[in-house]
Amino acid sequence: MNIAQYMPVKIIFGSGSLNQLGEIAAQYGKCAMLVTMPWEGVQKPAFIQAKDLLEAAGLRVVTYDKVVPNPTTTTINEASIIAKKEQVDVMIGLGGGSSIDTAKAIAVGATHPGVAWDYVYTEKKTANSSATLPIIAVTTTSGTGSHTTKYAVFTNPDLKVKSTIVNEAVFPKAAIVDPELMRTMPAFVSATTGFDAFTHAFESYTNIHANPLIDQLALVSMEIIVKTLEKAIENPDNLEYRTLLATADTLSGICIANVGTTLPHSIGQPISGKCPWVSHGQSLALVYPEFLKFTQSACIEKFAKVARFFNSALENVSDDIAASELSNEVSELQKRMNIYTSLKELNVPKSMINDIVRDAVLCPDTYVNPRIPSAEQVKQMLDNMWETS
Amino acid sequence: MNIAQYMPVKIIFGSGSLNQLGEIAAQYGKCAMLVTMPWEGVQKPAFIQAKDLLEAAGLRVVTYDKVVPNPTTTTINEASIIAKKEQVDVMIGLGGGSSIDTAKAIAVGATHPGVAWDYVYTEKKTANSSATLPIIAVTTTSGTGSHTTKYAVFTNPDLKVKSTIVNEAVFPKAAIVDPELMRTMPAFVSATTGFDAFTHAFESYTNIHANPLIDQLALVSMEIIVKTLEKAIENPDNLEYRTLLATADTLSGICIANVGTTLPHSIGQPISGKCPWVSHGQSLALVYPEFLKFTQSACIEKFAKVARFFNSALENVSDDIAASELSNEVSELQKRMNIYTSLKELNVPKSMINDIVRDAVLCPDTYVNPRIPSAEQVKQMLDNMWETS
């Protein structure tokens, strides 16, 4: 069955929607595990509110607040043991993609033989839908789309490999998208997660498996991000901008859930897999200028359409010229948002480039890009990313 | 749970997607009932292809080809008896909203005590999800959105009442949206179904329960329809236009599945319920100019935004002025598409107006309109619809 769109997640969207957490979670049992980053950050009020709401709905709450960016098997395995011991009924990931992906992986790890890593697609074991704990995603960033996907991405630090559970069992039962929670998001997080959402829409739109239905969602998402992200960074507390970006993130999440990502993710994932201090969104921002230059000749019309969201003056030039401007437009946006960078600036060792190339050419995302690079061409792109020009 | 978006239908979209029908239906059993309009119309090739595909996938096919526009309990009850006797496993509605809604109602009628009508929301019995036969929707028009909804609308001719089964059990398991099937759609059907899709988006967008996520889908859908519908009518065979309209219909279907319709549907439904020669889309086209005039003062900003899809010169005027132009813009579009009409032209007896008013004020859709009319105001609108000006 060649599905163009399937989205079984009940999406609770809008200002104040966090208030529904208790009611929703209570449908799935008596004990919830609340999975978050450490509680002392900007999200502390949201964590406390979530815990209170769950307890008010009669649930026992087990908190696990050791989520790390680019989540690891170390934390996931530790939390899975706790979830099993505490007989958790429902997993709640509250935070950005790292918290949600950690909750998803625990939902598998706590209910299956072995550990969560055994169920990433590269290990070829399949999680059982009915065994996997139900998951509720509460997203506090506008970027990863994880609240709408059947993917959980995490890293095995022993192998220095980042991989993904791909299974309908980890589709959240419900996703709460409350723009109020996004008003305290720092500028760098807004920029990198917002850019991540842009990449989801862009890569679904230009994917060789793109479909006309999802294309429309991708276009809406990209137009919102290009026209709103900088304004939200300048006015972090503005609820209208936060709501628009949450919409863009959710729509682009639906895009990747149904079509999927391409070459930037196959190069970006090993970078943050091997260098966990590089966030997922930052790794994509790094890759984009070179990826766009490499790919543009293979996808002129779509590149041109997106370029015109950045610069309406490009309405008056040919598709060829507009498409060739996209890399510059993206670089300029990145510069204005302070996320334009290089491998050197990100402290990625030069010696690691060959390993990144090897992982990238093994990744299936590479082969749905409109132009498929050889290993040498991936290496050339990475060499070009060494220093900013 | 206040859900903004939930869409459990697997949507198979794109040119050639009908070819997947056999494979999909075979997942649900051995015997399919293929529910269509009489087989001698423009859709004959699609009917034959569907039957062949089902048989090639090993299914026994029971055909029921007596669907009528504004489906009735008469046909639904007859077909339900056949479905029960033939031990049908899966219902396939192939056609416009009438065929799909008939298939949905049979799926309930064939598996529950009593008849399908007992399960419309006004009768207050609830169909059982696990008993209801699985439904596959194959849409051949771009308008009703039925392939994405949990609604089956039909008429009880004895009561002269049109009502609706509202139940997650009648969400199709899969929807096939193949724009190839839409290339033979006559101009009048393209116009009225296309206008119906516009109303779904418009009424979800202006509904008092609108949400910002669905708003974006509604805006995309309306913009496509306003800019493409006339072109598709002039070039019926153009696959690009048909694909865009199928996209708009599917997105606006997601809008009504999650937000819902308002006043035009509460006035339009009783008109075609009592006068089944008036198609659903035609009844809405009739109601719109008056509805827009009545409602515009209560929803200026959103009306203005939609008016500007029709006429970009309205970018340069105030929201107040742009909003007040919407009724004219819609009337002009209807005139160009030959669907601008009056109660008199549609042969609706003048004596029926009071009954229509009575049904309209009983319908919950009336109370989610941005401006709620009294019975007198509904009567005034209907009086204004008597003759075109």
Nearest C-alpha of chain A: how many angstroms from B240? 10
Nearest C-alpha of chain A: how many angstroms from B11? 5
Whether A160 has a pLDDT exceeding 90, the answer reads no
Least confident segment among A349-353, B40-44, B129-133: B40-44
Whether B129 has a pLDDT exceeding 90, the answer reads no
Interface mutation vs chain A, best among B13, B168, B244, most A CBs within 10 Å: B13
The confidence score (pLDDT) of residue B14 equals 96
- Number of H-type helices and E-type strands within chain A: 13, 8
> Domains plus CATH for chain A?
10-181 (3.40.50.1970), 185-384 (1.20.1090.10)
The confidence score (pLDDT) of residue B41 equals 81
The confidence score (pLDDT) of residue A100 equals 97
DSSP-derived secondary structure for A109-127: HTTSSS-GGGGSTTT----
Determine whether the interchain pair A3/B10 forms a contact, defined as Cβ–Cβ distance below 8 Å: yes
- Which residues on chain A are in Cβ contact (under 8 Å) with B219? 220
**pLDDT tens-digit series, residues B176-194:** 999 999 999 999 999 999 9
Strands B5-13 and A5-13 turn out to be antiparallel
How would residue B277 be classed by pLDDT, with cut points 50, 70 and 90? very high
Tell me what the pLDDT averaged over chain A comes to. Answer: 96
**How far, in Å, are B145, B203, B271, B279, B294 from residue B357 at the CA level?**
26, 19, 10, 19, 15
Determine whether the interchain pair B13/A174 forms a contact, defined as Cβ–Cβ distance below 8 Å: no
At A43 the three-state DSSP class reads: coil
**pLDDT tens-digit series, residues B342-356:** 999 999 999 999 999
Interface mutation vs chain B, best among A9, A13, A178, most B CBs within 10 Å: A13
How would residue A287 be classed by pLDDT, with cut points 50, 70 and 90? very high
**pLDDT tens-digit series, residues B203-221:** 999 999 999 999 999 999 9
Nearest C-alpha of chain A: how many angstroms from B37? 26
Q: Closest residue of A to B27, CA-based?
A: A1
How would residue B39 be classed by pLDDT, with cut points 50, 70 and 90? confident
Determine whether the interchain pair B3/A23 forms a contact, defined as Cβ–Cβ distance below 8 Å: no
Q: How many CB atoms lie within 10 A of CB A380?
A: 15
| Rounded Cα gap, residues A137 and B346, in angstroms | 51
Sheet strands (E) in A121-228 = 135-139, 151-156, 161-166, 174-177
| B212, amino acid identity | P
Nearest C-alpha of chain B: how many angstroms from A352? 42
The confidence score (pLDDT) of residue B352 equals 96
- Number of H-type helices and E-type strands within chain B: 13, 8
Whether A389 has a pLDDT exceeding 80, the answer reads no
Average pLDDT over residues A214-237: 97
CB B359 within 8 A of CB B161: yes
Interface mutation vs chain A, best among B9, B10, B138, most A CBs within 10 Å: B10
The confidence score (pLDDT) of residue B15 equals 96
- Which residues on chain B are in Cβ contact (under 8 Å) with A5? 7, 11, 13, 250
**How far, in Å, are A67, A179, B112, B191, B212 from residue B206 at the CA level?**
41, 21, 36, 22, 11
How would residue B1 be classed by pLDDT, with cut points 50, 70 and 90? confident
Determine whether the interchain pair A13/B7 forms a contact, defined as Cβ–Cβ distance below 8 Å: no
Tell me what the pLDDT averaged over chain B comes to. Answer: 96
Helix axis angle, A187-206 to A239-258, nearest 10°? 40
The confidence score (pLDDT) of residue A152 equals 97
The confidence score (pLDDT) of residue A46 equals 94
**How far, in Å, are A107, B113, B171, B296, B382 from residue B365 at the CA level?**
41, 29, 20, 17, 17
Whether B374 has a pLDDT exceeding 90, the answer reads yes
Nearest C-alpha of chain B: how many angstroms from A17? 8
Whether B227 has a pLDDT exceeding 90, the answer reads yes
How would residue A388 be classed by pLDDT, with cut points 50, 70 and 90? confident
Element (H, E) at B175: strand B174-177
Going by C-alpha positions, the residue among B167, B155, B71 that lies closest to residue B117 is B155
Q: Closest residue of B to A3, CA-based?
A: B12
Determine whether the interchain pair B12/A4 forms a contact, defined as Cβ–Cβ distance below 8 Å: yes
**pLDDT tens-digit series, residues B47-56:** 999 999 999 9
Tokens, residue A227: 């026209």
The confidence score (pLDDT) of residue A124 equals 83
The confidence score (pLDDT) of residue B9 equals 97
> Is the CB of residue B216 less than 8 Å away from at least one CB of chain A?
yes
> Is the CB of residue A251 less than 8 Å away from at least one CB of chain B?
yes
Determine whether the interchain pair B250/A224 forms a contact, defined as Cβ–Cβ distance below 8 Å: no
Whether B389 has a pLDDT exceeding 80, the answer reads no
How would residue B43 be classed by pLDDT, with cut points 50, 70 and 90? confident
**pLDDT tens-digit series, residues B320-330:** 999 999 999 99
Average pLDDT over residues B58-80: 96
**pLDDT tens-digit series, residues B76-119:** 999 999 999 999 999 999 999 999 999 999 999 999 999 999 99
CB A245 within 8 A of CB A142: yes
Nearest C-alpha of chain B: how many angstroms from A347? 39
> Is the CB of residue A213 less than 8 Å away from at least one CB of chain B?
yes
The confidence score (pLDDT) of residue A260 equals 96
How would residue A210 be classed by pLDDT, with cut points 50, 70 and 90? very high
| Rounded Cα gap, residues B238 and B231, in angstroms | 9
The confidence score (pLDDT) of residue B357 equals 98
